[in-house]
Amino acid sequence: MKLSKAERQRQLKETITETPFITDEQLAKKFSVSIQTIRLDRMELSIPELRERIKYVASNRWNEMVKALPLDEVIGEIIDLELDKRAISILDIRPDYVFSRNKIARGHHLFAQANSLAVAVIDDELALTAKAEIKFIRQVKEGERVIAKAAVKGEEKGFTIVQVESFVDKEKVFSGLFYMYRSKEEQQKGEKEHENRN
């Protein structure tokens, strides 16, 4: 059943409020209309395009929080961050990220997204990757959106362990364990907090 314009726009607004990082393509599919119709609806409702929505969320919130590297050095856009606990970033696979022959993303872009997220989640001015155990689960193609989720798993032999898993839609495409070196005082503080939690 085709929705009226008013009802479609009401549901569109609701959908974007609930999932602000949904693309126009996904919305067009959801409402069985053209991408152009979605764009016109957004304009009428004064809802900015996806890139602007991401920037709005990211720019104010994370700039002051990320300590270990400047925000513009994070590969992908951080959309959620709780230092020393968890973080999420989004990376859209652009034409310059893929092999021209087969449109498959170069692995180092997926690794860089995961690695920079593992650095960003550390609550310290100094955070360096000492070791990484990584696995590419499936190829990622041009135009796909990769959502990386980092979780701090604890301390081991003087390193903070960060697990990062990357997804396209709900399918896992990459996973990695990153052993992060951090400055001595922060390391000791992290170990104490971990002991207190256990």
| pLDDT at residue 189 in the model | 55
Q: Could you tell me the pLDDT band of residue 115, with boundaries at 50, 70 and 90?
A: very high
pTM greater than 0.85? no
Measure the N-to-C terminal CA separation of the chain; round to a whole number of Å.
Answer: 54
Q: Could you tell me the pLDDT band of residue 81, with boundaries at 50, 70 and 90?
A: confident
Domains of the chain: 5-47 (1.10.10.10), 59-197 (3.10.129.10)
CA–CA dist 103, 151 (Å, integer): 30
Greatest extent of the chain over all pairs of C-alpha atoms, in Å? 62
Q: Tokens 């170990």 belong to which residue?
A: 191
Backbone angles phi, psi at 185, to 5 degrees: -60, -45
- DSSP label at residue 3: P
| pLDDT at residue 23 in the model | 86
Q: Is the model's pLDDT at 121 over the cut of 70?
A: yes
| pLDDT at residue 97 in the model | 95
Q: Which residue has the higher pLDDT, 32 or 1?
A: 32
Query: Of 37, 44, 42, whose CA–CA distance to 52 is shortest?
Result: 42
Taking residue 62's Cβ as centre, other Cβ atoms within 10 Å add up to: 19
